[in-house]
Chains A and B, each alone.
Chain A
Amino acid sequence: MGTVTRRHLTDLPSTPGLLSALLLATVLAALSFGLPALDRGVSAQRGLRAGEPYRVAAGVTVVPPAGATLDVTGTRPGEDRGTALFRLGRVRYAIAVQPFSGDLTQAAVRLRQRITGTSGYQVTGTQLAVSTAGGLAGLQGGYTAGDRGGRYAVFVAHGLTIEVTVSGAGLDLDHTLPAIDASTRTLRYEGGR
């Protein structure tokens, strides 16, 4: 048996050249840059019917503010947990529902720590009690992140925690907060998980 040459090993082209490697890099670029570009090219906003309750998840509903759109990239409905993301102009209004076995104080501590766990985010002011028209009791407060402001609210009911976070630039936030606060007060647990 003689010495084996490259040609014996495989019938692939004799020199795996720059072209093959660039093709490989192109496929990677398509995955890491092309897909996000395509994603950005397709609108994420969906219109909502004014005044109609939106089912977030796990039997929790909310009436979104007038003029709000649903951002489907941050919305994931579910039987036992889920999220909804609304946008009012440049203000972000997010609601997250998930199973929770603690009390309201623990839920508030958890949410505050998650907010402050993000680099540059600070909780401001004191927490205030808040309640909804559907009888959910909660706590709310504020936070800042650079030139952006934010509000949070948390409710605990029926083995669930409902976390509300609102963020946007100062002026935008001031304009939309009354409508968002009114929307938050429509949060309701309707059961039927």
Chain B
Amino acid sequence: MSEAVRPGIPRPATPLRLPAFWVVVTLLATGAVRMSQILARFLESYPLATITALGLFALLAVPFWLFVQELDFLEREPAGLLAVAFAWGGLVATSVSIPGSTALENLIAKLGSPGLAADWGAALAGPTVEEIAKTLGVVAIVLIARSQVNSVLDGVVYGALVGLGFQIVEDIVFAIGAVALAGQGDEIQPVITTFLVRGFLAGVWSHTLFGALAGAGIGYLVVGTDRGWCRRITMAGLALSGAWASHVLWNSPLFREGLGNGAVALLAVLVFKGLPPLLLILHLVRRAHDREAEYYVARLAGLGDPEVITEGELRALGSGSRRAAARRHAAERAGRKARATVRRLQRAQARLAVELSRAPELADRHQAEVREHRATLRALGHPEAVEGIHSWRHTASAVGTAAVAIAVLWVALSALGGA
């Protein structure tokens, strides 16, 4: 089996000397100007609705961003590059997609028929232009910081953030479009409805997910050096096609007729059109995550030093849920300070693992950091950052939260289905 990770170089060169960096900066600046003009028009016509949309959808970005950050726990990507990926999605991909998708939909109407464009225009034009424009964002990251893309998971992370940036800006544009269409003036009700539909109900199976899949393909193309070019290009193409197909399915008119207009019908559409790609992509992302985690945990296991990492901690470090369980266990046994220290220990262990993969001779500093956190934990009476016994309180809390979420979702579905 091939290595899951191609280690980066210890001290990557600054991208400022790369011509590609300045091309990307120019593209971002052009996108920023274009989207600022659109935002200024929105603010002039519907100031309250625009500010509400900006606030709500900015909040919506937070859980997505945190999820991606947790995926990225072991080998963290530089914040600047994450911001570039997000900005590419929100500024470049959107400003390219607005004229491109409209033109393609027009061409479908001209070369096909207005009926074909009414049924399939949004399903074919949007995904075709948008998925290409977003995937180019991950390519841009490779061009300016190739040494940072050293696993398939890195491609997933950058792709997801490009998709998130696109999703947030597109949602804001749709929300203000709904305000204009409603013809009620500067009202926030259409913004709230758009937030519920596009943010809550449709948000999970949207651009972040499609971007993650296409990004995985670019990640594979870059790091799968033990495979031939033909296979790598094919796999990247398949990933992009998968993202496109998921997007087409979501936008398609399938299941639109025949299920009525109620909450059950809406739920059925979400499940049939959204759930299969969601489960498939989450499975692929999980595999990419686990392969990367295995690689880095093996670097730490190779040290054979329980002061740096114990057997139980090796098991916990490779999984997001187990890392969280270890932090909860620390809080239950030794308080909030222990919880924070466990998080710091886990971060230090992750940094050490990455340094061991890149330049073992430079890893002493990180070993010292790990030992320092270990000493703090020991002083707090909780020497090992491992999961505790599964507590009924946590299970009850998870079940309760899920029940509340389903109830909120059902109320929203009923309100929207009945509207």
Binding site for B on A (CB under 8 A): 1, 3-6, 8-12, 15-18, 20-22, 24-25, 27-28, 31-33, 35-36, 38-39, 42-44, 70, 72-73, 75-79, 82, 109-114, 117-119
Contact = CB atoms under 8 A, between A and B. Distances in A.
Contact of A5 (B9, B103, B106, B118): B9
B183 interface: yes
A31 B96 contact: yes
B143 A8 contact: no
Closest 6 CB pairs of A and B: A110-B183, A21-B23, A21-B20, A18-B19, A39-B103, A114-B183
Interface residues of B, number: 61
Contacts, number: 150
A181 B309 CA distance: 82
A82 B20 contact: no
B109 A4 contact: no
B383 interface: no
Given A16-B20, A72-B110, A72-B114, A6 B142 contact: no
B212 to A, nearest CB: 20
B110 A17 contact: no
B23 A113 contact: no
27 contacts: A4-B10, A4-B359, A6-B147, A8-B7, A9-B7, A9-B8, A10-B223, A18-B19, A21-B24, A24-B136, A25-B23, A27-B136, A31-B97, A31-B100, A31-B133, A33-B99, A35-B107, A35-B129, A38-B103, A70-B114, A73-B109, A75-B109, A76-B118, A114-B183, A117-B46, A117-B183, A119-B44
Contact of B106 (A4, A12, A73, A78): A73
Given A9-B7, A25-B23, 7 more contacts: A3-B359, A15-B18, A18-B20, A21-B19, A35-B107, A42-B110, A117-B45
Nearest to B21: A21
A113 B117 contact: no
B352 to A, nearest CB: 15
Contacts of B183: 109-114, 117
B405 to A, nearest CB: 30
Contacts of A43: 110
B254 to A, nearest CB: 15
B222 interface: yes
B95 A32 contact: yes
B139 interface: yes
A76 B117 contact: yes
B118 A24 contact: no
Contacts of A11: 225
Interface of B: 6-10, 18-20, 23-24, 27, 41, 44-46, 92, 95-97, 99-100, 102-104, 106-107, 109-111, 113-115, 117-118, 121, 129, 132-133, 136, 139-140, 142-144, 146-147, 150, 180-185, 222-223, 225, 257, 358-361
A159 to B, nearest CB: 13
A20 B21 CA distance: 11
A190 B358 CA distance: 73
B20 A17 contact: yes
A4 B361 CA distance: 12
Contacts of B136: 24, 27-28
Nearest to A76: B118
A113 B184 CA distance: 6
A32 B111 CA distance: 20
A16 to B, nearest CB: 4
Contacts of A22: 23
Contacts of B358: 3-4
Contacts of A1: 360
A3 B185 CA distance: 63
Contacts of B41: 119
B45 to A, nearest CB: 6
A16 B106 contact: no
B27 A25 contact: yes
A5 B10 CA distance: 9
A117 B180 contact: yes
Given A21-B23, A110-B182, A114-B183, A32 B96 contact: yes
A35 B103 contact: yes
A5 B359 CA distance: 10
Given A114-B180, A119-B45, A18 B113 contact: no
